[in-house]
Amino acid sequence: MRNLLWALGIGMLSLSTLAQPMSWATVDPPPNPYGWHNTTVTVILQASGGQNLRVCYQLDGGTPSCQFPPVALSISSEGIYTLKYWAEDDTGQEPPHTLTLRIDLTPPRIVVHTPIRDASYLLHQNVVVDWLAYDRLSGLELVEASAQSGSFLDTSLPGHQTFWVFARDRAGNTARAEVDYRVLCVIETVLPSGFYLNRLLPPEERFLAWKFPVLARYTRGETITIAFRLLDAQRRAGPWTRPTLLVTQVRPDPEFGEKHTIWAWLSIPYDQEVGFYKLVYDTSEREPGIYDLWLSFGDSQSERLRVEILPTKEGKEGK
């Protein structure tokens, strides 16, 4: 009998232990390896126990709330939250559990002071990059850039360039900043005319041909010499770019004012002996009329030069 009572006592103790309330939480989605979320977080509180089983919770020291399990809590605002929860039934309550939730919904902030958006810098100019990236909540996990702050901007290639900064915070939010800028050459004239062309009309002889003034005249068969020098920030000349010449014939158009016919698209070579770019264009195959010479210097700079080709006078040789 004594053994039976002892066994019954152990059994009742075991049942009493199993019947004590117990709670647990499931976080959806789970936090990342740094313990942060970058979306709305749902916490499911569940419990086991006896009669009148309830789950109680308290968020950031607020008023406790008790409900029948399961209980779903959604937190959609960023911040760091402390959630206490416990289970209770008619036999009592368990010790509270503490769960910390970290939510960051804001991407990192990137501020670029230099380069300046759409600014122009000279080829090989020493420009110090100035930017910063920060994140006020979870902190930065990764920052990459085409040039670190305090180092020199890439001005080694002429033309349109893009500076970029990429940042990711510890919650997984990302930000990218891009700043477009131009790298230009200094264009220097080398011909006696003081112009890109070997010939230039005096101001009083220039006239308007539809939209633009005619700057030079050539007789059919004469050659048009185009020449210039490109310099970098240290005033050094070199074959820094690949300039081109586009030749179009211009005629009046009732709808658009002007109509263009493309006749040539040529590369302007660099003459190593003289140290500048030079192209000689033969006009013998061009009929008399108005033409545009579209100079592209290869660094996003360009010039549009309007010239007139005159008919050859009878008995006059083209020069």
Kindly report, residue by residue over 159-211, the tens digit of the pLDDT.
999 999 999 999 999 999 999 999 999 999 999 999 999 999 999 999 999 98
Judgement on whether residues 234 and 132 belong to the same structural domain of the protein: no
Judgement on whether residues 124 and 78 belong to the same structural domain of the protein: no
Task: Tell me what the mean pLDDT of segment 263-282 comes to.
Answer: 97
Of 103, 128, 155, which closes a domain?
103
Judgement on whether residues 201 and 295 belong to the same structural domain of the protein: yes
pLDDT above 70 covers a percentage of the chain that reads: 92
What CATH number does the domain containing 229 carry? 2.60.40.1930
Q: Which residues neighbour 202 within 8 Å (Cβ) at sequence distance 6 or greater?
A: none
> How far apart (Å, rounded) are the C-alpha atoms in residues 134 and 240?
38
The whole domain housing 228 covers: 187-310
Supply the pLDDT for residue 12: 38
Task: Tell me what the mean pLDDT of segment 145-156 comes to.
Answer: 98
Judgement on whether residues 161 and 269 belong to the same structural domain of the protein: no
**183 with 123: CB under 8 angstroms?**
yes
pLDDT, tens digit, 9 for 90 and up, residues 34-78 = 999 999 999 999 999 999 999 999 999 999 999 999 999 999 999
Beta bridge partners of 82: 100
Judgement on whether residues 242 and 281 belong to the same structural domain of the protein: yes
Instruction: Give domain status of residue 80, yes or no.
Output: yes
DSSP string, 208-226: EETTEE--EEEETTPEEEE
pLDDT, tens digit, 9 for 90 and up, residues 290-299 = 999 999 999 9
Pairing assessment for the beta strands 216-219 and 302-310 based on DSSP bridges = parallel
Instruction: Give domain status of residue 7, yes or no.
Output: no
* Sheet with 276-282, side-by-side order of all strands: 186-188, 223-231, 276-282, 270-271
Please confirm whether the linkage preceding 311 is cis (ω < 30° from 0). Answer: no
Average pLDDT, the chain: 93
What CATH number does the domain containing 60 carry? 2.60.40.10
Instruction: Give domain status of residue 318, yes or no.
Output: no
Judgement on whether residues 119 and 204 belong to the same structural domain of the protein: no
Instruction: Give domain status of residue 319, yes or no.
Output: no
Supply the pLDDT for residue 313: 78
How many angstroms from the chain centroid is the CA of residue 187?
29
Judgement on whether residues 257 and 205 belong to the same structural domain of the protein: yes
> How far apart (Å, rounded) are the C-alpha atoms in residues 53 and 47?
8
Whether 10 has a pLDDT exceeding 60, the answer reads no
Task: Tell me what the mean pLDDT of segment 17-36 comes to.
Answer: 91
Phi, psi of 17 (to 5 degrees): -65, -40
Judgement on whether residues 37 and 129 belong to the same structural domain of the protein: no
Supply the pLDDT for residue 240: 97
Task: Tell me what the mean pLDDT of segment 283-291 comes to.
Answer: 96
pLDDT, tens digit, 9 for 90 and up, residues 207-243 = 999 989 999 999 999 999 999 999 999 999 999 999 9
